[in-house]
Amino acid sequence: MKRRMAEPYKIKAVEPLTMLTYEERKEALKQAGFNTFLIDSADVYIDLLTDSGTSAMSDRQWGALMVGDEAYAGSKSWKKLEAAVREIYGYKYILPTHQGRGAENILSQLKIKPGDYVPGNMYFTTTRAHQELNGATFVDIIINEAHDSSIELPFKGNVDLQKLSNLIQNVGPERIPYVCVAITVNMAGGQPVSMQNLREVYELCHRYGIDVMFDATRCVENAYFIKEREAGYSNHKIKDILKEMLSYSDGCTMSGKKDCLVNIGGFLAMNDEDLYARSRELVVVYEGMPSYGGMSGRDMEAMAQGIYESIDDHYISHRIEQVRYLGQQLIDADVPIVRPVGGHAVYLDAKQFLPHLQQEEFPAQALAAALYLDSGVRAMERGIISAGRNKETGEHNKPRLELVRLTIPRRVYTNSHMDVVADSVISLFEKRNQISGLRMDYEPPTLRFFNARFSPLSENQELIAAEENVVSTQ
């Protein structure tokens, strides 16, 4: 018998949730133009929009806020954060930033020259934007399987070493300032990279004198997958796995808003003294003094404490298992989701969920809206709307994956909340034929997914047809 695991914490402060009626949700959805980004947080019951900056802090973190040292220079809280990163992540030099993209900006400016190539295991929006702003071309070197939602692989975030070495041969190592390896890969669904792959990438790069910089945003989650799936690691502590992983890199950018269990913050870390000296100069220009970098003293206290809590074996095990707990309920009900379930989110495959809709009828957007209408659960579209339009032709970019992301905040919801989400998704799946597509009434010129507005395509302008009006197709 597989013994169940409960949340490895008990609740000390609660935030009451709003539960609107169906009619109220219908009105809120209409007001929001059927776009979940435009729904007020006060109207949401369970918020699975993102895991970024939405973690619940512990009593120790809240306590640490009180001892934050807000000195402009030489803050004690910075020393604490610096020591935590050195101890747990193992890098020599650390600089604070306001969040992950602050670190990406500085790293990209210092390492990239126009005409360079930066290979990565799938892109991330802000990471690639900073690389391109500095004149680099991003090259995707993730294994092909990562682009297929149905293939089950233990380490679907791995770098394809052949792709990497081909690129090195084709453009020359001097045109590759560094290789960016994300652990886990957000855009592939939170898929992990194996220790062996990290080791091999590092060896290959160092043979050519190329640095390896990690996007370490979800590195603790990656460590858990290694413990679970890679031979030789099942008896290791998460802390030790993490240390070994990060030893196969020359530095990292970090968004503290994910695995560091805080609501804001980040850092840039490296082992190279010269890069550190130059980074310090830029931190002052863009972020703040090298002893706070856009964070308040109390933010740094909370992050230092969060770093220690994040590597607790019980915490991380429950974290990953909770995401899987939701995913497994959907799999058991035959709901199409991205497989295997990754570290921070469950992704519904909207193309398979709503096969009666064309991609131009925005199935993922419609499904996210229907989910809110059904239960007040807020998710996010990751499909044709997020992909935008082709700059030359003006046509919609049509990504292969048309997904709804259910992102689980850390330590915020219990498995009972996951049950509510699962029930809602399964109930929508049972009446999927009744869910209508959407038309876009307002399309912003850039990053349209944030502010676009929609209305239902059905004749009666309802997103989910009332049961009695529907001729069952089964």
Q: How far is the CB of 369 from ligand PLP (least distance, A)?
A: 24
77 binds ligand PLP (CB under 6 A): no
Of the candidates 89, 91, 93, 124, the residue annotated as catalytic is: 124
Q: How far apart are CA 177 and CA 175, in angstroms?
A: 6
Residue 103 or 422: which CB sits closer to ligand PLP? 103
Of the candidates 125, 207, 398, 442, the residue annotated as catalytic is: 125
Q: How far apart are CA 50 and CA 71, in angstroms?
A: 32
From the CB of residue 366, how many other CB atoms can be counted at a distance below 10 Å? 26
101 binds ligand PLP (CB under 6 A): yes
Contact window for ligand PLP (CB under 6 A) among 60-68, 74-82, 98-106, 170-178 = 98-106
Contact window for ligand PLP (CB under 6 A) among 94-102, 138-146, 278-286, 409-417 = 94-102
263 binds ligand PLP (CB under 6 A): no
For 327, 336, 429, 431, 436, the CA distances from 374, given in Å and listed in that order, are 19, 18, 11, 11, 14
62, 57, 49: which is closest to 411 by C-alpha? 57
Phi, psi for residue 215 in degrees, rounded to 5: -90, 95
Q: How far apart are CA 238 and CA 84, in angstroms?
A: 15
Q: How far is the CB of 188 from ligand PLP (least distance, A)?
A: 10
- Going 24 to 26 to 29 to 33, the CA torsion angle's sign is negative
Choose, by CB under 6 A, the member of 130, 236, 257, 411 that binds ligand PLP: 257
Residue 185 or 435: which CB sits closer to ligand PLP? 185
Is 89 a catalytic site residue? no
Is 30 a catalytic site residue? no
Of the candidates 347, 429, 449, 454, the residue annotated as catalytic is: 449
Q: How far apart are CA 313 and CA 335, in angstroms?
A: 31
Is 125 a catalytic site residue? yes
Is 233 a catalytic site residue? no
Is 2 a catalytic site residue? no
Q: How far is the CB of 125 from ligand PLP (least distance, A)?
A: 8
Choose, by CB under 6 A, the member of 33, 46, 48, 52 that binds ligand PLP: 52
Is 72 a catalytic site residue? yes
Contact window for ligand PLP (CB under 6 A) among 33-41, 121-129, 191-199, 399-407 = 121-129
Q: How far is the CB of 97 from ligand PLP (least distance, A)?
A: 8
Is 374 a catalytic site residue? no
Contact window for ligand PLP (CB under 6 A) among 39-47, 96-104, 159-167, 439-447 = 96-104
Contact code string over 172-191 relative to ligand PLP, x by CB under 6 A: ----------x---x-----
Which residues would be at the binding site for ligand PLP (CB under 6 A)? 52, 99-101, 124, 126-127, 182, 186, 215, 217, 255, 257-258, 266
The catalytic site residues sit at: 72, 124-125, 215, 258, 382, 449
